[in-house]
């Protein structure tokens, strides 16, 4: 309370006057309420207000808190508000939700600018629902950045996401193409189902410095160059950061095309030795560009040209030409499909050459079915060798001869001869010796 002067009764002016009669003065007291500080703790900042004693404090508006990877929704103050009788502090309590997470709950980095909320994605599937709501509420665009690929949705389009069941932007495929990268993305709900949403987004490629990079957009099966300018698409799309073109197979019956890339970078080698159904293989290929220009094919592969190509494959059965040889001569030959059982010819014979007799002992390798890398297998007859017995009067002293022979294909090699010769004492020679001895004794 502060004294402000004297006030004569019946007067509204403060001050003492000349005495002209009886008068009563009343002290004029000014009452100023005592002020106290009320502090509102909002998490990212504090706000303070001055409130007179005895008054009821109130926060002006709805408390807000800047996002820091999370979005915050005000729930209540940490204690009930009360009449001011001294300084007071009230702390806000918030509902806290991540702005962007992977499917595994990993939080993504969030960057804020004057015009955009940007999610720096390190995972193919990103839940962006809260980030979209934040951007929409603040009148900003939402961007999602995967390394060199940037997708941006304007604030006017965000309601098409936030008002639907769509929660995620999913990088369905990221594949290396030549010297660049190809991206395919789509929109998914919380159950992981692809959503057909009519939302427009701008796509842009970025180089290492963050500057726009030339890109290619897949439209109706054709890759179209969009240069370095951002391009607007509706719904999911495929975007490439390298000069790449499409491969179309005009004929590829019985071939498995599952591992053939749809998009191939210029200068990249394409292998056409594709897997086929059992018993078939690609035997030839014709590759042409859309204008009819032929592309050179060597060893069933080619270098991707600067344009889309059409491929015609020739697929034929796998055939084996089997040959049987005996004594250097073909005795049978036939063609077999992969897996067919090879039919054996009749056992061949080889006539004696006067020195040896020959007996058929089988083939140079097992004969089963047609298979393997050798498409022209050759089977040679194997003969065992038995020497022909030859007697001569000069060999009458030979009692036993042991021969060791080695059979080879179409002939005999004499490995060694071991001879054990037992010489008999011819009676005539013994008689001569005995006669000579008798003669010496007589002399």
Given pLDDT bands bounded at 50, 70 and 90, which one contains residue 420? Answer: very low
On whether the pTM is more than 0.75, the answer is no
* Tokens 């159904």 found at: 277
* Tokens 């410095």 found at: 209
Lowest mean pLDDT among 247-251, 375-379, 402-406: 402-406
Lowest mean pLDDT among 48-57, 173-182, 200-209, 361-370: 173-182
- Tell me, rounded to whole angstroms, the distance of Cα 377 from its chain centroid: 40
Residues 6+ apart with CB under 8 A from 200: 153, 154, 157, 232, 233, 234
Lowest mean pLDDT among 112-116, 248-252, 332-336: 248-252
Residues facing residue 142 across a β-bridge: 117, 153
Lowest mean pLDDT among 168-172, 261-265, 394-398, 411-415: 411-415
Lowest mean pLDDT among 12-26, 184-198, 200-214, 276-290: 200-214
Lowest mean pLDDT among 63-67, 113-117, 199-203, 439-443: 439-443
Given pLDDT bands bounded at 50, 70 and 90, which one contains residue 178? Answer: low
Distance CA 170, CA 195 (A): 11
Tell whether the model's pLDDT for residue 242 goes beyond 70.
no
Tens of pLDDT, residue by residue over 71-82, are 899 999 999 999
Tens of pLDDT, residue by residue over 183-197, are 888 898 888 888 888
> CA torsion sign, 79 to 81 to 87 to 92?
positive
Check residue 36 and give its pLDDT: 96
Tell whether the model's pLDDT for residue 443 goes beyond 90.
no
Tell whether the model's pLDDT for residue 173 goes beyond 50.
yes
Burial of 314 (0-12, 13-18, 19+ CB in 10 A): exposed
* Tokens 């890759």 found at: 223
Check residue 161 and give its pLDDT: 85
Number of residues that make up the chain:
443
Tens of pLDDT, residue by residue over 248-279, are 898 888 899 888 877 787 778 899 999 999 99
Tell whether the model's pLDDT for residue 144 goes beyond 70.
yes
What percent of the chain stands above pLDDT 70? Answer: 86
Distance CA 88, CA 39 (A): 6
Tell whether the model's pLDDT for residue 398 goes beyond 60.
no
Tens of pLDDT, residue by residue over 220-240, are 877 777 777 778 888 888 888
Given pLDDT bands bounded at 50, 70 and 90, which one contains residue 243? Answer: low
Q: Smallest Cα–Cα separation from 284: which of 305, 267, 266, 298? A: 298
Q: Smallest Cα–Cα separation from 415: which of 403, 402, 425? A: 403
Given pLDDT bands bounded at 50, 70 and 90, which one contains residue 440? Answer: very low
Tell whether the model's pLDDT for residue 93 goes beyond 50.
yes
Residues 133-152: what's their mean pLDDT? 91
- Report residue 177 as tokens: 């193409």
Q: Which helix (H) or strand (E) holds 159?
A: helix 159-162
Given pLDDT bands bounded at 50, 70 and 90, which one contains residue 379? Answer: very high
Check residue 17 and give its pLDDT: 85
Given pLDDT bands bounded at 50, 70 and 90, which one contains residue 180? Answer: low
Taking a C-beta distance cutoff of 8 angstroms, is the pair 196, 205 a contact?
no
Burial of 164 (0-12, 13-18, 19+ CB in 10 A): middle
Check residue 38 and give its pLDDT: 97
Tell whether the model's pLDDT for residue 391 goes beyond 60.
no
- How far is the CA of 195 from the CAs of 167, 190, 236, 364, in angstroms? 10, 10, 9, 66
What percent of the chain stands above pLDDT 90? Answer: 47
What's the mean pLDDT when you consider all of the chain? 83
């Amino acid at each position: 309370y502060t004294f402000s002067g004297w006030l004569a009764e019946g007067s509204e002016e403060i001050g003492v006057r000349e005495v002209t009669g009886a008068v009563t003065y009343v002290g004029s007291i000014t009452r100023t309420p005592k002020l106290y500080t009320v502090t509102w703790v909002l998490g990212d900042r504090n706000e303070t207000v001055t409130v007179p004693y005895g008054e009821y404090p109130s926060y002006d508006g709805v408390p807000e808190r800047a996002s820091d990877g999370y979005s915050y929704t005000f729930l209540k103050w940490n204690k009930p508000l009360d009449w001011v009788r001294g300084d007071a502090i009230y702390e806000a309590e918030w509902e806290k939700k991540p702005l962007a997470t992977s499917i595994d709950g990993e939080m993504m980095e969030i960057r804020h600018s004057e015009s955009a909320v940007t999610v720096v994605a390190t995972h193919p599937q990103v839940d962006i629902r809260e980030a979209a709501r934040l951007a929409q509420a603040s009148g900003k665009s939402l961007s999602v950045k995967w390394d060199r690929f940037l997708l941006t949705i304007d604030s006017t389009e965000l309601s098409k996401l936030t008002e639907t069941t769509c929660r995620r932007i999913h990088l369905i495929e990221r594949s290396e193409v030549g010297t660049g990268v190809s991206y395919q993305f789509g929109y998914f709900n919380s159950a992981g189902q692809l959503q057909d949403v009519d939302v427009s987004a701008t796509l842009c490629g970025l180089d290492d410095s963050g500057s726009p990079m030339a890109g290619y957009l897949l439209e109706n099966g054709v890759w179209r160059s969009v240069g370095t300018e951002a391009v607007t698409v509706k719904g999911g799309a495929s975007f490439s950061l390298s000069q790449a073109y499409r491969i179309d197979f005009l004929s590829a019956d019985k071939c498995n095309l599952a591992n053939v890339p749809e998009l191939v970078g210029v200068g990249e080698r394409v292998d056409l030795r594709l897997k086929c159904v059992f018993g078939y293989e690609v035997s030839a290929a014709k590759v042409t560009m859309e204008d009819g220009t032929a592309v050179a094919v060597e060893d069933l592969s080619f270098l991707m040209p600067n344009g889309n190509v059409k491929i015609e494959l020739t697929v034929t059965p796998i055939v084996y030409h089997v040959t049987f040889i005996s004594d250097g001569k073909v005795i049978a030959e036939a063609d077999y499909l992969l897996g067919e059982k090879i039919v054996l010819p009749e056992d061949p014979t080889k006539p004696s050459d006067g020195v040896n007799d020959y007996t058929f002992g089988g083939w140079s390798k097992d004969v089963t079915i047609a298979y393997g890398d050798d498409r022209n297998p050759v089977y040679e007859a194997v003969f065992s060798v038995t020497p022909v017995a030859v007697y001569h009067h000069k060999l009458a002293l030979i009692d036993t001869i042991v021969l060791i022979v080695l059979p080879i294909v179409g002939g005999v090699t004499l490995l060694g001869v071991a001879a054990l010769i037992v010489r008999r004492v011819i009676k005539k020679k013994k008689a001569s010796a005995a006669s000579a001895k008798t003669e010496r004794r007589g002399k």
